[in-house]
Amino acid sequence: MDIQPQLIVELAFLGICTGFLAGLLGIGGGMIMVPFITIMLSHRGVSPDLAVKMAIATSMATIIFTSVSSVRAHHKRGAVRWDLVKGLAPGIVLGGAIASMGVFAFLKGSSLAVFFGLFVGFSATQMFLDKKPAPTRQIPGTAGLVGAGGLIGFFSGLVGAGGGFISVPFMTWCNVSIHNAVATSAALGFPIAVANVAGYVISGMSVQGLPDDAFGYIWVPALVVIAACSVFTAPLGAKAAHKLPVKKLKRVFASILYVLASYMLYKGLNS
């Protein structure tokens, strides 16, 4: 697949937007990246089934880089609960491995597109209503954290997202302040991404029909350009969050997510 200047511009714009929105609204860029990367790959002759899988895998790979940038900022403010990161990480790695090397490889791209559309629709509703679970219990023990981490890693691996829409509600439900929950969720993005990306690469190595510039299911040009741009714009979004009406912006963004979710549902149901 030839890397044309137009493609680089498209990917750079996508990286700039996703990085800024991630910093501004505290969400990962996967819910934006996956639909647009799917469209780009489809227009370049990749089969619909592979396009969806590559989009999910590539979106997850960018989180390796953006999470490092985000965690540094949160850690400087002392907001990351590293005890929770250590407790959840083993389950995350296990759940991510099961998703990326097992379920992901066997599911059709159309099924993943439908699941992604439903997940994003649910996440958009959470964002639109700005609902936060009532803190009703304490952090569970080791087994409970491993189990919760497993679910976070598993579902993140199927949709190419950093898990914030699962981990943040879980932590606030367990009486962790929203400030600490968001910061800790950003730190969890790294083990989520590393575990799943390793699985995407291994499970994709034997797949036929992938473009020449793919590494397993990872679309390398998109990873390089999007990661390079989003790392620079995420801090700008974080600064803007202190000056802009974030609650109103979340509702606008949720409306956009409904459109993207509808596209992926359409793509999945009509493949």
**139-189 tens-digit pLDDT:** 889 999 999 999 999 999 998 887 777 888 889 889 888 778 888 888 898
* Confidence grade of residue 68 (pLDDT, cut at 50, 70, 90): confident
Q: How much is the pTM?
A: 0.86
Res 59: pLDDT: 92
Query: Taking 60 as the threshold, does the pLDDT of residue 191 lie above it?
Result: yes
pLDDT average, residue stretch 102-114: 89
Query: Taking 70 as the threshold, does the pLDDT of residue 221 lie above it?
Result: yes
Name the nearest CA neighbour of 264 among 73, 118, 61. Answer: 118
Percent of the chain with pLDDT over 70: 95
Averaging pLDDT over each range in 1-5, 121-125, 197-201, which range is the top one?
A: 197-201
Encode pLDDT of 23-34 as tens digits.
777 666 778 899
**Alpha carbons 36 and 76: distance in angstroms, whole number:** 33
Helix (H), strand (E) at residue 218 = strand 218-219
Q: What are the domain boundaries of the chain?
A: 5-269
**Alpha carbons 208 and 11: distance in angstroms, whole number:** 25
Tokens of 259: 């459109």
> Sign of the C-alpha dihedral, residues 170, 89, 223, 239?
positive
Q: How many CA atoms lie within 13 A of 100 on its CB side?
A: 35
Name the nearest CA neighbour of 154 among 143, 167, 138, 172. Answer: 167
**Alpha carbons 110 and 269: distance in angstroms, whole number:** 7
* Confidence grade of residue 232 (pLDDT, cut at 50, 70, 90): confident
Res 3: pLDDT: 65
Do residues 250 and 165 make contact, with C-beta atoms less than 8 angstroms apart?
no
Res 2: pLDDT: 55
Encode pLDDT of 43-55 as tens digits.
988 998 999 999 9
Tokens of 258: 């409904």
